[in-house]
Amino acid sequence: MPVSPLPEVTSAASVPSATDVVVIGLAEAIGSPVLVGAGEDLEKAWAKKGGTGLLDAARALGALPKPGTAIVLPGAPLVVVVGLGGVDVTPEQARRSAGAGVRAAAKLAGDKGVKVSVSLEAVEPEVVRGVTEGALLGAYSYAPTTRKEAKPGVTSLTIVTDAAGAAAHVAAGVIVAKAVCTARDWVNTPPNALYPETFADEARALVRGTKLDLEVLDEKALAKGGYGGILAVGGGSSRPPRLVRVTWAPRGAKAHLGLVGKGITFDSGGLDIKTAEGMITMKCDMAGAAAVLAAVAAIADLNLKVKVTAYAALAENMPSGSAYRPSDVLTMYGGLTVENANTDAEGRLVMADALARAGEDDPDLLVDVATLTGACMVALGERTAGLMASDDETADRLLDAAEASGEPFWHLPIPEEISENLTSDVADLASSGKNRYGGALTAAAFLREFVGDERSWAHLDIAGPAWNGKGAYDYTPKAGTGFAVRTLVALARDLAG
């Protein structure tokens, strides 16, 4: 499977002499913008040219303090000036600006690539991690399946900082960013290469040589265990489903986090088939599973003292003579029966099985991640994910983790009356509502039935931000984004104390 090459990342107190491109910042200050991270050596180099100063040159070429903006100043080394916003830079401002700067630098790479230094005067640990994450995520480029030789792009990254413990903060940022890039690679992989069996193989490769434990249930084990939802959704494909369970159990852990990810490796819609336009991006319907698997690996690499049990429910939703049908009654894991209303509402069925199983592990907090509903995209757009939870305290905890990681979520309710949509005359409940209103809320209400009333639980609907169908921006590339990995890591860091 293609693996996108990532540059080596190091830290240094000053810009190395071998640097090809330096990324510096422009921040808004009282009176006029100021350069951030230029340093005396770079300023002197520009002064020797006999022209205008570095700030004047940047402003003459249109540099702005607005985050996400970037302009290139010619020279040796080349200088990329990125907008930082205000002078009191937050971790997310640093992440966005570093990403935009490195993406601009990557465009300057020739046949040999470029060595990039990011100098944004990061000092606080969270900001150093933010710069590191943004820089590495901005350097990401998916390795396509082609006989053409890929251009080298950014070959090395130096995070310029004199912060105490800088090397450790940079290393932590690298772990998180690499996990996001792993999730991106999986989402971007063509569905004829990534399907339930091969995705399970990817999980095996991920945990090899680590302290993570892995269990994979194949179709026979799923049938023996009574996983009616996963088996029904995967029944129409020649590629049978899998349930992957990965566990991180460090000594000294005082909390237990359960994670469940939707892993529909391709969603045709089944017998309720999608349009051609609606189907073309459906290799991304496993982004939730990608997020939880990548996150648990990062949590282990960071050695966070929190137990994590992650489930990836993997199936391919295809139409065939063995496909499940609308009006089928399915017996889910644990015995609850479900009248299937729509074969294109398959994600909640595989998630229901996995949530019921995950509850048996008795986690203190259970979080599921899924590209679940188009309704959530209608409500919140393409860049904001929906968050629904068992209670406000749990929702606030997830929102705090999301804010720390720089990923946008919005808290949505699960009104009690929405459950009325799930009544069935022939089963314990129906899989979908009886009208199109509140579709994201109805899906969450369905999942809640498999969690239990006493458990702290959060549902993350990432249907919008998991895939970027437009142009790259900041540290976000086109196509798979790796969304939710950072939030899950931040949540684990919070639970670890």
| 2 lies in some domain | no
Distance between CA 239 and CA 204 in Å, rounded? 18
DSSP β-bridge partners for residue 314: 242, 263
- Residues 285-305 have pLDDT tens digits of 999 999 999 999 999 999 999
Distance between CA 470 and CA 283 in Å, rounded? 16
Residues above pLDDT 70, as percent of the chain: 99
| 64 lies in some domain | yes
| 478 lies in some domain | yes
State the CATH number of the domain containing residue 19.
Answer: 3.40.220.10
Ramachandran category for residue 113: left, alpha or beta (phi over 0 → left; psi -120 to 50 → alpha): left
From 106, 126, 160, the end of a domain falls on: 160
State the CATH number of the domain containing residue 210.
Answer: 3.40.630.10
Active-site residues, by number, are 274, 348
Mark whether 300 and 436 lie in a shared domain: yes
Mark whether 455 and 491 lie in a shared domain: yes
| 385 lies in some domain | yes
- Residues 163-209 have pLDDT tens digits of 999 999 999 999 999 999 999 999 999 999 999 999 999 999 999 99
Mark whether 215 and 87 lie in a shared domain: no
- Residues 420-454 have pLDDT tens digits of 999 999 999 999 988 889 999 999 999 999 998 89
Mark whether 312 and 419 lie in a shared domain: yes
Mark whether 153 and 192 lie in a shared domain: no
- Residues 362-373 have pLDDT tens digits of 999 999 999 999
Mark whether 110 and 192 lie in a shared domain: no
Distance between CA 114 and CA 139 in Å, rounded? 11
Mark whether 210 and 113 lie in a shared domain: no
Q: How confident is the model at residue 50, as a pLDDT?
A: 58
Mark whether 221 and 77 lie in a shared domain: no
CB atoms within 10 A of CB 49: 10
Domain count, the chain: 2
Mark whether 143 and 84 lie in a shared domain: yes
Mark whether 267 and 376 lie in a shared domain: yes
| 374 lies in some domain | yes
Mark whether 306 and 415 lie in a shared domain: yes
- The amino acid that residue 389 corresponds to is A
| 177 lies in some domain | no
Mean pLDDT of all residues in 331-335: 98
pLDDT over threshold 80, residue 265? yes
* Parent domain of 66: 8-160
Mark whether 124 and 195 lie in a shared domain: no
Tokens coding 485: 């990995």
The backbone torsions φ and ψ at residue 235, rounded to the nearest 5 degrees and listed phi first, read -70, -20
